[in-house]
Amino acid sequence: MALGKSAAVVIGSFPLGESDRVVTFYSRDFGKIRGVAKASRRIRSRFAGALELFTLGEMVFFDTGRSELVRIDHFDVLHPFDRVRRDLERLGQASWIVECVARLTAEHDRHVALYALLVRSLRALEGPVPPARVAVCFGVRALETLGHRPRLDACTVCGRAYPFPRPALGAGGVVCEACAREDAGMVTARPATLAAFEWLRSERWEEALVMPIGRSENEIGAFLDAQVSRLIGQPTRTAKFLRDVRRLEPTSGVSP
């Protein structure tokens, strides 16, 4: 039995019983934590709206040790990130980011760098940078942080050193033309896209957000979504949501 305290972001929730909620947090000091927030669905709850998706706060929880779920005692809002919820594209991209964090990490597995990346990305989504770019920058770095960095220096199948002509992107990284031919799941990638991927990974965050990379952004977005889907064993839910809401505005069709 222990009392814990940490800064944390709300990354999901679902209703429990009459008026409670099970809330998933990504915390700085404990990684992913799931807990019960009693009576939080009441209109006048002591959590008073604090447990909305994307909210950053200071969480106090009690771990009884008898259940996977902790008891959420307090959550004091540090930053609500409410601007992220005010348009569908921002909301969709922020949800993709949060889905990656929720589904690529295990409970109580601490990754301070991932936590910092999450907060930084939410912050960027409140600013002028197009939301799809923020998600792509997040995705490139999140895979790296979690040890899933795609291999871009050699064919992941036969080991042939890159550069080679007509590269493709597949499971785990770049694939040469001969190996790609045997696997239907590959997407051809322009060399410019592979270069852009490297830049987004290694440049300063602020640079990566604004660097002009043209349609490589879409290609990297699609590749990242495919990578994440492969790692979690099913398509991401938020990519479907983004496709659905974009049908209203065919011009903003960027991935993920």
Partner 1 sequence: MTYYPEPVARLIEALQQLPGIGPKTAQRLTFFLLKRPVEEVRELSESLLAVKDRIVSCRTCFNVTEGDPCRICADPARDARLLCVVEEPNDLLAMERTGEYRGRYHVLLGALSPLDGVGPDDIKVKELLARLEGGETAEVILATNPNVEGEATALYLAKLLRPLGIRITRIARGLPVGGDLEYADQVTLSKALEGRREIG
Looking at the Cβ atoms of 46 and 181, the one nearer to partner 1 is 46
Task: Report which of 135, 136, 138, 100 is spatially closest to residue 117, judged by C-alpha positions.
Answer: 138
Looking at the Cβ atoms of 36 and 171, the one nearer to Zn ion is 171
- Considering all CA atoms of the chain, what is the largest pairwise distance in Å, rounded to the nearest integer? 63
C-beta of 202: minimal distance to partner 1 in Å?
30
| 48 sits near partner 1 (criterion: CB under 8 A) | yes
**Count of residues interacting with partner 1 (CB under 8 A):** 41
29 SS3 class:
coil
| 45 sits near partner 1 (criterion: CB under 8 A) | yes
Task: Report which of 11, 244, 10, 222 is spatially closest to residue 136, judged by C-alpha positions.
Answer: 222
Looking at the Cβ atoms of 56 and 179, the one nearer to Zn ion is 179
- Identify what 245 binds: Zn ion, partner 1, none; CB under 5 to 8 Å per kind: partner 1
Report, in angstroms and rounded to the nearest whole number, the Rg of the chain calculated over CA atoms: 20
Stretch that binds partner 1, among 93-101, 118-126, 163-171, 187-195 (CB under 8 A): 93-101
- Identify what 78 binds: partner 1, Zn ion, none; CB under 5 to 8 Å per kind: none
Task: Report which of 47, 45, 72, 56 is spatially closest to residue 10, judged by C-alpha positions.
Answer: 56
C-beta of 246: minimal distance to partner 1 in Å?
10
- Identify what 59 binds: partner 1, Zn ion, none; CB under 5 to 8 Å per kind: none
| 53 sits near partner 1 (criterion: CB under 8 A) | yes
Burial class (CB in 10 A: 0-12, 13-18, 19+), 56: buried
167 SS3 class:
coil
Candidate list 157, 186, 200, 208; residue touching Zn ion; CB under 5 A:
157
- At 106, the amino acid letter reads A
| 179 sits near Zn ion (criterion: CB under 5 A) | yes
Q: How far apart are CA 87 and CA 95, in angstroms?
A: 12
Q: Which chain residues interact with Zn ion by CB under 5 A?
A: 155, 157-158, 160, 176, 179
